[in-house]
Amino acid sequence: MSIDPPAGLRPETLAVAFGYDPQSASGSVKPPIYMTSTFVYPSAQHARDVHQAFFDGTGPLAGAEQHIYARLGHPGLDILEARLAAIDGAEAAVAYSSGMAAHSSIALAFLRPGDSVLHGRPIYGGVDMLYNSVMPQYGCHAAAYLDGTDEAAVHAAADQAMAQGPLKLIIAETPANPTAAIIDLDLMVRLADKIGERQEHRPLVVVDNTLLGPFAQRPIKQGVDLCMTSLTKYCGGHSDLLAGGISGRHGLIDPLKAMRTTWGNHLDPYTAWLVTRSLESVHVRTERAMSNARTVAEFLRDHPKVVGVTYLGFLPEGSRQRAVYDRQCMAAGSTFSFHLGGGEADAFRMLDQLRLLKLAVSLGGSETLICHSASTTHYALSPGQRLEGGITDGTMRLSVGLEHVDDLIADLAQALEAV
């Protein structure tokens, strides 16, 4: 579907109702869940026209909202994708069965044997594995930069990537997790333009916007090509589903949708409905989670047993990272880390003492989650690699949720007494 959102409406407004017409479903205020795998044609000629429109983009039904079989597309996907595109400020969007399904579809759609990829580090473990373990088996290469605000360092890494093959993708996950390192998206767009003059194809700039989400960082506005979001996290927001989305211009999203038909990794009708419903409230949920997170971060910063807090809101004034943060981010998010002075034993004692906070990986749900980074999310890294990313044996990642902040602080306070 490619109906443009009404001009002048803000993303918060579009999140509530855009992309669904109650007249299409007996006046139902909320969209129904279209639980079907296939769709009936009113006539044999209509069936032919639908297929012509889908495969050739021509004929009497070209551009019309029509369905054939749910793997190719279904009404729940149309609604979700229209809404996600509107919220992200993009022409179009495509939704997948998980965030990693979205990432791997980008890799398969835009890379060919011999091509190279540039990405920041640290980056989500699954994405690191995709570009450094899986795609090399298809003849693709990767190079990484460590400081995404350092123009010279990023250019050097890009040269390293280009020495291995044409650079096709520039991947930026910002802010990084759990280090809160920021990548300058304006710098990435400038870099792509420059590289476009040196080789046949301008590389695409792909941003993983999962950590801050569509209401605290707006990459499409900054000129990036594709904005990827794990909808599993803040957008889904209740730790009860997996989904992924990508927004961008038609020229990039349409081929991704066509290929999704062959990969078979579309989002199913029920989960699409759940995500659509969750998108209505993501801005208020994240606002509260972020204000809770600031209060918890301040409590931890002042606690004698905590040696450090890695929280975007505490980036030092005058630093390069701070300048990019002020330009690029509208809020500090609600996932951050803090560090205990002792080792694993101290950290485990504290974690086992918690009563309210839940010990689990993932982030962006309504409940507060905590995990010990070295033994869980970053288990597969060597101690040296972990230290490079600022992760010690006393590092804990917190995803602050929607509980009353005083209850969260009381639980952390009593657990810290065990240290």
Ligand X SMILES: *Cc1c(COP(=O)(O)O)cnc(C)c1O
For the four alpha carbons of 269, 31, 209 and 192, in that order, the dihedral sign comes to positive
Q: 216, 233 in Cβ contact below 8 A?
A: no
- Using CB under 6 A as the binding rule, whether residue 230 contacts ligand X is answered as yes
The two structure tokens encoding residue 128: 């690191």
174 binds ligand X (CB under 6 A): no
> Closest distance between ligand X and the C-beta of residue 346, in Å?
27
Any contact of residue 176 with ligand X (CB under 6 A)?
no
Burial of 15 (0-12, 13-18, 19+ CB in 10 A): buried
State the Cα–Cα distance between residues 126 and 118, nearest whole angstrom. Answer: 16
Which CB, 68 or 127, lies closer to ligand X? 127
Q: In the numeric block, which tokens belong to residue 141?
A: 């290469």
Q: Which is nearer to ligand X, 208 or 393 (CB)?
A: 208
**Mode of pairing for the β-strands spanning 141-145 and 204-208:** unpaired
Question: How far, in Å, CA of 406 to CA of 218, rounded?
Answer: 31
Contact segment (CB under 6 A) with ligand X among 183-191, 206-214, 383-391, 399-407 equals: 206-214
Residue 274 CA to its chain's centroid (Å) = 17
Instruction: State yes or no: residue 97 binds ligand X (CB under 6 A).
Output: no
Shorter beta-carbon distance to ligand X: residue 177 or 321 = 177
Instruction: Determine which residue in the list 104, 105, 116, 232 makes contact with ligand X, applying CB under 6 A.
Output: 232
Q: Does 100 bind ligand X (CB under 6 A)?
A: yes
**Beta pairing partners, 227:** 207, 247
Query: What is the per-residue binding string for ligand X in 43-72, x denoting contact by CB under 6 A?
Result: ------------------------------
Rounded to an integer, what distance in angstroms lies between the CA atom of residue 47 and that of residue 157? 51
Q: Is residue 337 a contact residue for ligand X (CB under 6 A)?
A: no
242-281 residues in contact with ligand X (CB under 6 A) are: 242, 244
Nearer to ligand X, 20 or 273 (CB): 273
> Nearest to ligand X by Cβ — which residue?
99
Comparing CA positions, the residue from 201, 198, 169, 170 lying closest to residue 184 is 170
DSSP-derived letter for residue 62 is T
For the chain, the C-alpha Rg in angstroms (whole number) is: 22
**Residues 20, 124, 131, 215: which binds ligand X (CB under 6 A)?**
124
CB closer to ligand X, 49 vs 173: 173
Q: How many residues bind ligand X (CB under 6 A)?
A: 15
Find the shortest distance in angstroms from Cβ 183 to ligand X.
12
Question: Letter for the amino acid at 211?
Answer: L
Question: Of 176 and 340, which CB lies nearer to ligand X in the complex structure?
Answer: 176
CA 298 – CA 416 distance, rounded (Å): 15
373 part of the interface to ligand X, by CB under 6 A: no
- Residue 293 binds ligand X, judged by CB under 6 A: no
Q: Is 208 in the site for ligand X (CB under 6 A)?
A: yes
Instruction: Say if residues 393 and 344 touch (Cβ distance below 8 Å).
Output: yes
The residues binding ligand X (CB under 6 A) are: 98-100, 124, 126, 173, 177, 208, 210-211, 230, 232-233, 242, 244
